[in-house]
Structure 1
Amino acid sequence: MKKLPKLSFWQIWNVSFGFLGIQMGFALQSANVSRILSNLGADLHALPLFWIAAPLMGLIVQPIVGSASDRTWNRFGRRGPYILGGAIVAAISMFLMPNASVVVSVMPVLLFGLFMFALMDGSFNITMQPFRALVADMTPSEQRNLGYSTQSFLINAGAVLGSILPFILTNVLNIANTSDPGTVAPSVIWSFYIGGSILLLSVIWTVLRTKEYPPEEYAEYKGLDQTKETDPRYKGFIGFFRLLRITPKTMLQLAIVQFFSWFALYIMWVYTTPAVSQHVWGEAIGESASQGAQDAGDWVGILFAGYSLFAALFSTQMSKLANQLGRKTVYSITLLIGGIAYISTLFFQGGDMVHLNLLFTQVDVPSSAVMWMIPMIGIGIAWAGILAMPYAILSESIPADKMGVFMGIFNFTIAGPQILSGLVAGSILKYFFDGEAIFMLVIAGVSMILGAISVFFVKTNN
């Protein structure tokens, strides 16, 4: 078996560069979809049900795309066609999502908003899944930590840009961040236009600058027998379920960790905006949201940019730490820090308005809003670990000829806990916490700590 050649840093960079734009789009979705759906008329307690569309699309799309990309080869490569195709649909979806109110004569505006949310997230998944497999395809084992850490850095750099974009448009370019009932603020609309464009351009860069190995060469590097027919037992719909029976044990053990960490992340994405609005600004959100609630929504973009920035910075050192301490140790510590950070948000409430200089603009916010940046450090560290360590661990236990499909199946461990969270979170908020969203972040913290403990039950030599 030929040894897979090492890549230069910039080759590794190009392999994942498209993730910069994808995560920019995903960050805009994470920070603004609750706000968009609320402005279009969604009830606070129903938001988790709307958000189920995101993991449900991932649950359906990623295994299919992963399996198909394992068997694909054309002028754009093995993973490239899916990365590019998904990016085109994602960009179109981002252009349409904030304009749901325009089609009110065709279908109910909220239904259209939900449909575009599902389409947007589904196309994100089409694009994201091959990126995970592409790193494993292109990097030798000794560069795997660097490959996924670089991917984590680019993901979070894109998230920073996506998270702060509505805030910059409002406070630097003076684009309005308020809207009439049933419509979306212009700052959010233009953010989605810009984000969709950058997403498409960055993915095109990866597709054009990354030369995937042809099937024969790939087989030599991975020790595969090109003359051997694909096992017919694993073909088709029934074959997919047979494939589940040979799922690597490492994946099953990581699934427990993934359950707790992604349950927590889903809660954060759904409830940070109402939590900040209620707990810091003392304002409710909804179809007729006040100026304070809209300002809170903009500030959540800054907070999400903060945790993404801290994640990007931590990602630059994570590969070294994983090489020194081991992947499992780094993974567990990052989740523990994140869990403590979620719980700490409970202690930052209200306060007098303070004048804040953000270099590119100046704003007045409650004093506790500034303090919320402290837990964002811990959440960013956890996010960096979640984006890199499980994939680095998993890639060592997956057969090379099934890398795409198993990476897609692994998405079950991401989508499943989010779907469950979407089904139960609204009831928990309503019946246990009387609509106080801040306590949902405490629940997220407890879940993340349980994930940190679960890491030690994962059996691996790394």
Structure 2
Amino acid sequence: MTNEGTRQKLPTLPLHTIWMLSFAFFGVQMGFSLQSSNLGRLLQTLGADPHSLGWFFILPPAAGLFVQPIIGRLSDKTWNRFGRRMPYLIIGTVVSAIVMFLLPNAGNLGFKATIALIFGAITIMFMDTSFNMAMQPIKMVVGDTVNEEQKGYAYSVQSFLANAGSVLASIFPFALTAMGVANTAKPGVIPDSVAISFYVGAIVLVITTIIALINVKEYDPETYAKYHGIQEEGPKESVMHLLTHAPSIFWKLAVVQFFSWVAFQYLWTYGTGAIADTVWHATDAHSAGYQAAGNWFGVLSAVQSIGAVLWALVLTKVKPAQECFAYGGSLLLGALGFGSILFVHNQWALLVSFMLIGFAWSAILAYPFTFLTNALDGKNNGTYLGLFNGAITIPQIVASVASFGLFPLLGSSMPHMLLVSAIALIIAALSAVRLLRGHV
């Protein structure tokens, strides 16, 4: 229930405070990017069949599908001395750090290949659950505390920190190899360049979370109710009721998100193998060429993140009436980047491809949450953001399941799977312009 008559505007926050609200996102995204940019390489090193990779890539979105709505719902009702959202960040960070030390050692524990792969899969499941638990509070606290005038800036800061964490995560294995750290290992063992990157990522995650916890002060129930124009103890509404009464833009954004995340799911699943094939002509996951491709994919992921940061600066100049066209145009540029990978056989030329992919990634991070939170009234922000995460996770699950038919249909060609990504982004771009015009 709203109470608009006594509602007070959220205060204008100092820029330092806005940065601190999202500071933990740097560490969380570094861990998430280490996983996403190295997962295919890790699994194939442990012995996974390329035809079965889709099964493993179902785990991350499946975790997010269930965890984020639960965390959103629970945190909407949580008020204790540690805050409203922050307790879940603490739990997520602790579990994430533990599993980031465990995963790179899956091949060092004396297990047979099959058991090592199962151990790796279980560790990945816990890692994704904890990453989602840590990530969701950071998104929600911005919606709780930042007014509409500053919200665009706040989410831009969040995008910047996320991409900065991604850059560091992506180049770390490459940089360690350049410094002489081993980039190959015996079959079934994760190279030191990757393992050390995960250890550093865990430490950075813990440090950034501690800094955020020291600096972020959430509103108490009375103050929150005053600023959002709601009762402290409003009527309880079921998740199904909230879902069926979601603003129309919730569902329209979900369509765009579906095709966008299908595209990126295939990038994370087949990206390393695709460039290993087209540039290094390597298909053996234990070969030096394949491991070199894995390192270069990390560099390309960093370029993607740099492109996203630069493009975010461009998007801040777009007028509200033109945002749907900027959204669609960014996705089209990303489609061009995806489609070019099949035809590029030079590792340096791929920098351009991934810069274009970064433009699309910037729009995907910047627009949907801004559009959605501006349409919400503050009563159930956490629950709605958690439910909206289904527009991210369900497409990834669908893409992974579909890959079991698509991959053999396309001649078991990883580069051709990225051509599917290009087609998906074209559909997403057209949907953004068609469905969102007049809403943003």
Q: 2:56 aligns with which of 23, 45, 50?
A: 50
Q: 1:400 aligns with which of 378, 394, 414?
A: 378
Distance across 2 between alignment mates of 1:459 and 1:250: 10
Report the 3-state secondary structure (helix = DSSP H, G, I; strand = E; otherwise coil) of the residue aligned with 2:33. Answer: helix
Task: Render the CA deviation track for 1:49-91: whole Å, top value 9, x for unaligned.
Answer: 1110000000010000000111112222111111121011111
Q: Match of 1:189?
A: 195
Say which of 418, 427, 436 aligns to 1:450: 427
Q: Distance in 2 between matches of 1:59 and 1:449?
A: 25
Which SS does the other structure have where 2:181 is aligned?
Answer: coil
Deviations 1:186-244 (A, max 9, x none): 11110000001101111221121111111111111100122x4432xx3xxxx323332
**Does residue 23 in structure 1 map to residue 1 in structure 2?**
no
Contact 1:177–1:294 (CA<8 Å) still a contact in 2? yes
Q: 1:244 to 1:127 in 2, by over 3 A?
A: same
User: Which string of whole-angstrom CA distances, capped at 9 and with x for unpartnered residues, describes residues 258-277 of structure 1?
Assistant: 00000001001111100000
Map of 2:306 onto structure 1:
309
Q: Would you say 1:206 and 2:184 are equivalent positions?
A: no
User: Quick one: distance in 2 between partners of 1:195 and 1:140?
Assistant: 32
Distance 2:392 2:282 in 1: 32
Q: Distance in 1 between matches of 2:289 and 2:305?
A: 24
Match of 2:115 among 99, 108, 113: 108
What is residue 353 of structure 1 aligned with on the other side? none
Map 1:155-170 onto structure 2 (within 5 A): 155-170=162-177
Cα distance, 1:33 vs structure 2: 1.1
Q: Higher mean Cα deviation, 445-454 or 158-167?
A: 445-454
Q: Which amino acid aligns with 1:294?
A: Q
Matching of residue 327 in structure 1 with residue 306 in structure 2: no
Q: What is the alpha-carbon distance in structure 2 between the residues aligned to residue 145 and residue 460 of structure 1?
A: 19
Q: Distance in 2 between matches of 1:109 and 1:145?
A: 44
Q: What corresponds to 2:96 in structure 1?
A: 90
Alignment partner, residue 267 of structure 1: 266
Corresponding pairs, count:
432
In 1, Cα distance between equivalents of 2:119 and 2:95: 16
Q: Give 5+ residue unaligned stretches, structure 2.
A: 1-6
8 Å contact kept, 2:33–2:166: yes
1:142 aligns with 2:149: yes
Report the AA paired with residue 120 of structure 1. M
Distance in 2 (alpha carbons) for counterparts of 1:21 and 1:285: 32
- Closer/same/farther in 2, CA of residues 216 and 31 from structure 1, 3 Å limit: same
Return 5+ residue gaps in structure 1 as ranges: 350-367
Aligned pair partner of 2:124 in 117, 128, 138: 117
Mapped contact 2:73–2:383 kept (Cα < 8 A): yes
Shift of 1:461: 4.0
1:230 corresponds to 2:207: no
Per the TM alignment, residue 103 of structure 1 is displaced from its structure 2 partner at its CA by 3.5
Contact 1:310 1:380 in 2 (8 A): yes
The aligned amino acid for 1:169 is: L
Hey, what's the Cα distance between the residues in 2 that align with 1:330 and 1:22? 28
Aligned to 1:220, the other structure's residue is in SS state helix
Aligned position for 1:361? none
How far apart are residue 378 of structure 1 and its match? 1.1
Shift of 1:129: 1.1
Q: Distance in 2 between matches of 1:403 and 1:229?
A: 14
Q: Is the 2:46–2:190 Cα contact (8 Å) retained in structure 1?
A: yes
Note the alpha carbon deviations across 1:247-267, whole angstroms, 9 max, x for none.
Answer: 221111111000000000100
Q: CA RMSD in A?
A: 1.5
Q: Secondary structure at the match of 1:101?
A: coil
Q: Is the 8 A contact 1:224 1:401 kept in 2?
A: yes
CA distance in 1 between partners of 2:431 and 2:121 (Å)? 34
Q: Aligned partners of 2:323, 2:372: CA distance in 1, in Å?
A: 11
Shift of 1:460: 5.3
Cα distance in 1, alignment partners of residues 229 and 54 from structure 2: 45
Once the two structures are TM-superposed, the CA of residue 150 in structure 1 deviates from its matched residue by: 0.9
- Conserved in 2, the CA contact under 8 Å of 1:150 and 1:316? no
Residue number in structure 1 paired with 2:3: none
**CA deviations over 1:30-59 (Å, ceiling 9, x no partner):** 111111110111001111111100000000
Does the Cα contact within 8 Å between 2:249 and 2:439 map onto a contact in 1? no
Is the Cα contact below 8 Å between 2:275 and 2:297 reproduced in 1?
Answer: yes
Deviations 1:381-404 (A, max 9, x none): 111111110000000122312000
Q: Structure 1 residues 391, 44: CA separation in 2 closer, same or farther (over 3 Å shift)?
A: same
Name the counterpart of 2:160: 153
C-alpha change, 1:317 and 1:13, in structure 2 (3 Å) is: farther
**Alpha-carbon shift at residue 324 of structure 1 (Å):** 5.5
Q: Is the 8 A contact 1:45 1:427 kept in 2?
A: no
Q: Is the 8 A contact 2:97 2:202 kept in 1?
A: yes
- 1:328-387 per-residue CA deviation (whole Å, 9 max, x = no partner) reads 2322221111111111112212xxxxxxxxxxxxxxxxxx10000001111111111111
Q: CA deviation at 1:325?
A: 5.1
- 8 Å CA contact retained: 2:64, 2:393: yes
How many angstroms apart in 1 are the aligned matches of 2:347 and 2:107?
Answer: 31
Q: What is the SS of the residue equivalent to 2:131?
A: helix
Q: Is residue 245 of structure 2 the alignment partner of residue 246 of structure 1?
A: yes
Report the Cα distance in structure 1 between the residues aligned to 2:189 and 2:108, rounded to whole angstroms.
Answer: 9
- Give the match for residue 294 of structure 1: 291
Cα distance in 2 for partners of 1:202, 1:332 equals 34
Q: Aligned equivalents of 1:9 and 1:316: distance in 2?
A: 17
| Deviation of the 1:102 alpha carbon | 3.2
1:13 and 2:12 matched: no
Whether 1:171 and 2:178 are equivalent positions in the alignment is yes
- Equivalent in the alignment of 2:4: none
Residue range with higher mean Cα deviation, 76-85 or 401-410 = 76-85
Asked if the contact 1:96/1:116 (under 8 Å) is kept, the reply is yes
Give 3-state SS (helix, strand or coil) of 2:107's partner. Answer: helix
The residue aligned with 1:346 is: 342
Task: For 2:271 and 2:24, locate their aligned partners in 1 and report how far apart those are by CA, in whole Å.
Answer: 27
One-letter code aligned to 1:138: T
Instruction: Quickly say closer, same or farther: Cα 1:310–1:253, change in 2 above 3 A.
Output: same
